[in-house]
Structure 1
Amino acid sequence: MSNHHHDEEFRLNTPEFEQLNKKLERREFLTKTAMGLGAIAVGSLFGKSLFGKSGTAMAGSAGDTEQDILRAIPHFAPKAKRVVYLFMSGGPSQFELFDYKPKLATMAGQNLPDSVRKGQRLTGMSANQSSLPVVPSFFKFNQHGQSQTWMSELMPHTAQVVDDLCIVKSVFSEQINHDPAITFFQTGNQLPGRPSIGSWLSYGLGSDNNNLPTFIVLVSKNGQKDQPLYSRLWGNGFLPSKFQGVQFGSGKDPVLFLNNPEGYDGNDRKEMLDYLSKLNKLQNGAYGDPEVDARIAQYEMAYRMQTSVPEVMSTANEPNEAFEMYGPDSRDPGTYAANCLLARKLLEKDVKFLQLYHQGWDQHSSLPKGIAQQCKATDQATAALIKDLKQRGLLEDTLVIWGGEFGRTVYSQGKLTANDYGRDHHPRCFTMWMAGAGVKPGITYGETDDFSYNIVKDPVHVHDFHATLLHLMGIDHERLTYKFQGRRFRLTDVEGKVVKNILT
């Protein structure tokens, strides 16, 4: 093991390195002449006009480079420094939670009028039903707070913070099935392969904490796994891999493969990483592949996370009052309540974008029982996170978002009984809420018709939601772009407008 004490000069002049350098020099000649020997042949045909002043082939710059784009961000003073997005996977019913429709009580069991449906698309699960019986919510609503906002009895804790919420009842999407709908919400496109919201923010804004990832994901272990979640939902798409979300778990190893293997004391870990970094930089100098830079950054981040993650993941020093506020589940790592408490700790460390996923909201049958269970698992902790951030002075520059991929239908899917019913997917209008940095507190925005089937005032498309989120972070959504396969892409594609009437 005496080789560990040899100096850097010796290391980089070993026969192995010399052989590697010779191979790379030959490859470098081919790769750094733009398109290799083919570029030289083309150059001989077109003359010097193809080449720049230095005599090397130009890369074909068109408009701003990615570096120019990033230097311009933020485009204006941001209202929010960080975001926590509580994603309720499966599609929570707006009827049972936020969108109070008392007139439906007189129409229970009647068929949904054609004048309301207007020929809109149905899923394959209810398209063949002989009738579409209207079903009012079985749960009571009451007005809460100074805003006198109507809230369901299923959310007594959220009702306590209703004056901090900006409830948007007029969100809509074109996607009627889970996978394209949730993919659309997370990436701005129904097809897989685009960067997620957190990846765009990580790319545009960078990190405020060098010891933790910019974009972290937590998935509840106590959510019913009715619809699958895929890691591509927090993936980097065509952005460099260093911008992907990092999922934290609740077990012995919160981040997979982060800890040293058994039997290894780690004393020479930094030395090994430095040596590996030199190899990677040698390769990067030959190929200019941005993924090599990403890999170097990931190794360095992993080394720093070995000390930072155990500290931030531990709740041993949290007072009993914190666990009581977030609820009994908060003592059980991996539950939604525990993840909300952990989210507050990560936000205190200036993690830029946190996404909490909680599955189980896809209630096609037995909805009253199912949604009551979901609210019991999430309501207290959600409200506690708002209260906790507020009392610590973090809510004023933290944006909190709550919502799913679509809403539910006014009609019952399948048989309607006296105490049981289900609701199908409905993307044409549903409810989300935001709280904290830059959004007006204690307001309700947008209106739906008496059947919560169509929007009658202030529609908010998913692209509008994304544009508004980026705006709050100081980003003009039309200017945050990335060139891929000859086209400049953005989170909002070619659409989206900022919903200015909900902003402070």
Structure 2
Amino acid sequence: MQIDSSISRRQLFQTCGVGVGKVALASLLMKGSAEASNVDVPASFATPQAPKAKRVIYLFMAGAPSQLDLFDYKPKLQELAGQPLPPSVIDGQRYAFIQPDAAVLAPQFPFAKHGQSGAELSDRLPHLANIVDDLAFVRSVHTDQFNHAPAQLLVNTGGPIPGRPAMGSWLSYGIGSEADDLPAFVVLNSGGALSGGASMWSSGFLPSQHQGVPFRSSGDPILHVGNPEGIDSRMQRKSLDLIADLNRRRYEVTKDPEIVSRINAYEMAFRMQSRAPELMDYSQESAETLEMYGAEPGNSAKGFANHCLLARRMAERGVRFIQVYHGGWDHHSNVAGGVKAQCQQTDQAAAALVSDLKQRGLLEDTLVVWGGEFGRTPMVEASAALGRSQGRDHHPQAFTMWFAGGGIRPGQTIGATDELGFHVTERPVHVHDIQATILYQLGIEHEKLTFNFAGRPFRLTDVHGKVVKELV
């Protein structure tokens, strides 16, 4: 089904260009047309069940965390360390860099079971270990792509090449926003450059008002919506009133609905200018909350922690889809040092986000997702003989993700891999299945939420995807 929002609004923002501030304003205008304050899913693409989640916080670990050193313990790798994998295991496989006869690399950290669920985690995740019974792990995720850019695009947009709408854009298009003064789809990045680039939060062929809006951690949170130097709020208000009066007079003459859209856009801009600074004002948070996250506003070294706290604040204010990117997980060498460093930056804040949402009563209708674009190989990519410490290559055949809240059934581990952590042996879950499940929890049937483009209907999951019923 193609949802027909106001033509005049669409035309207005198509002609306004694609500046981030303008996209943000257009996203705000969807509030009035979608009336989706309580996930009011149109019947044409609604699931049989009522929505379990109102919003999504997706913690995307760009670069691909090593599941074998974090979530999927394989004693057999310790036994075979230094030996090549059997040819029968690796026959016909493709790799980004290493050769198929590369030696096995043992798990780099000790593992232990935690909670009533008995979830097994590496000792690099002590904070996550404290909340395992609130989480659901899927160890059998797999993907079609083995290089970073296409794999990241596949997870975020459903396709391996640029041009497809992001998941957050589909949600903005389908069910709008709860907020009337913040964008429906917000992007936070604490990891620097991303292989998939800005295409991962692009609206693609959807109307541009559904594009993700990057928020900055310092200065104006959103570009191009702040007042120029010398213009204060009083002067701006008087200017807007004058412009609105002129526009209303012109509307009485032409009856052009596009003029009304312009008036609304100016008003929304004014409201968001007030809302965004309040959103970024961490002085409202207690010292205990900042300590729980490990957050330190203004300190870029604490970027992920700051963004997790900001994600919770956005969830409280009705942002529909909050995408938190954190790079640095691409460990082709020194996987032990790399995983240790990244867990020090992310483990505490990710666990705090789940706990904080839970204690505020937000977790039940906020779906939290954690994962990368693929996994890492059981074999070593670089050896000490080459002058580099040991690392792991890209591994699309199997990796782990975890989920919390939003109607997800916690305290379970779904799927399994073989004794080498190479192939999925139980309940395979494709990236498209993850996307279908996320939409399902929001009350959306992924096969029905479509947009006609280039002569055919498109959807987030393309022609694939099945809901992981065990997860929900």
Question: Quick check: TM above 0.5?
Answer: yes
* C-alpha spacing 1:139/1:275, structure 2 compared with 1 (3 Å): farther
Counterpart residue type for residue 74 of structure 2 = K
Counterpart code for 2:328: G
Give 1:271 deviation, angstroms: 2.5
Asked whether 1:445 is paired with 2:414, we answer yes
Q: How far is 1:332 from its partner?
A: 2.8
Query: CA shift at 1:279, angstroms?
Result: 11
For 2:169, the equivalent position in structure 1 comes to 199
Secondary structure in 1 matching 2:282: coil
Report if aligned partners of 1:241, 1:294 keep a CA contact under 8 Å in 2: no
The match for 2:401 is 432
Structure 2 gap segments, 5+ residues each: 1-33, 36-40
1:138 alignment partner in structure 2:
108
Aligned: 1:388 with 2:356: yes
Change (3 A) 1:106 1:489: same
Quick check: 1:323–1:331 contact (8 Å CA) kept in 2? no
The equivalent residue for 2:12 is none
Aligned length: 428
Structure 1 residue aligned with 2:29: none
Give the residue type in structure 1 aligned to 2:172: S
What do the CA deviations read for 1:59-88 (whole angstroms, capped 9, x no partner)?
xxxxxxx99x95635444100011100000
Query: For residue 77 of structure 2, what is the amino acid of its counterpart?
Result: L
CA distance in structure 1 between the aligned counterparts of 2:167 and 2:246, rounded to whole angstroms: 31
**C-alpha displacement of 1:299:** 4.5
Render the CA deviation track for 1:327-359: whole Å, top value 9, x for unaligned: 154663671001111111111112111010001
Moved over 2 A (4+): 69-76, 225-229, 267-282, 292-303, 328-334, 416-420
Corresponding residue of 1:325: 292
Relative to 1, partners in 2 of residues 1:281 and 1:449: Cα closer, same or farther, differing over 3 Å?
A: farther
The structure 1 residue matched to 2:152, chosen from 169, 182, 186, is 182
Q: 2:51 aligns with which of 69, 78, 93?
A: 78
The structure 1 residue matched to 2:92, chosen from 119, 140, 146, is: 119
| Pair 1:181–1:319, CA change in 2 (3 A) | same
- Write out aligned runs for 1:1-80 (5 A): 70=42, 72=44, 74-75=46-47, 76-80=49-53
Q: Structure 1 residues 137, 441: closer, same or farther in 2, change over 3 A?
A: same
Counterpart-to-counterpart distance in 2, 1:262 and 1:87? 36
Q: What is aligned with 1:402?
A: 370
Contact in 2 for aligned 1:212/1:301 (Cα 8 Å): no
Q: Provide structure 1 residue ranges, at least 5 long, that are not aligned to the other structure.
A: 1-65
Map 1:473-492 to 2 at 5 A.
473-492=442-461
- Answer yes or no: is the 8 Å Cα contact 1:240–1:294 preserved in 2: no
Structure 1 residue 231 displacement after superposition: 1.8
**In 1, Cα distance between equivalents of 2:261 and 2:379:** 50
Deviation at 1:303, TM superposition (A): 2.3
- When Rg is computed on C-alpha atoms for both structures, the one with the higher figure is 1
The alpha-carbon distance between structure 1 residues 250 and 227, as it changes in their structure 2 partners (threshold 3 A), is closer
**Kept after mapping to 2: 8 A contact 1:133/1:416:** no
Identify which range, 357-366 or 71-80, moves more after superposition: 71-80
- 1:274 deviates by 2.9
C-alpha distance in structure 2 between counterparts of 1:134 and 1:273, whole Å: 69
Question: Counterpart of 2:162 in structure 1: which amino acid?
Answer: P
Partner of 2:313, secondary structure, is helix
Q: 1:277 to 1:459 in 2, by over 3 A?
A: farther
Q: Does 1:232 align with 2:199?
A: yes
Q: 1:263 to 1:363 in 2, by over 3 A?
A: same
Query: Which residue of structure 2 aligns with residue 469 of structure 1?
Result: 438
Structure 2 counterparts to residues 92-491 of structure 1, below 5 A: 92-123=65-96, 125-127=97-99, 131-220=101-190, 223=191, 225=192, 227-228=194-195, 230-265=197-232, 266-271=236-241, 274=244, 299-329=266-296, 332=299, 335-416=303-384, 420-491=389-460
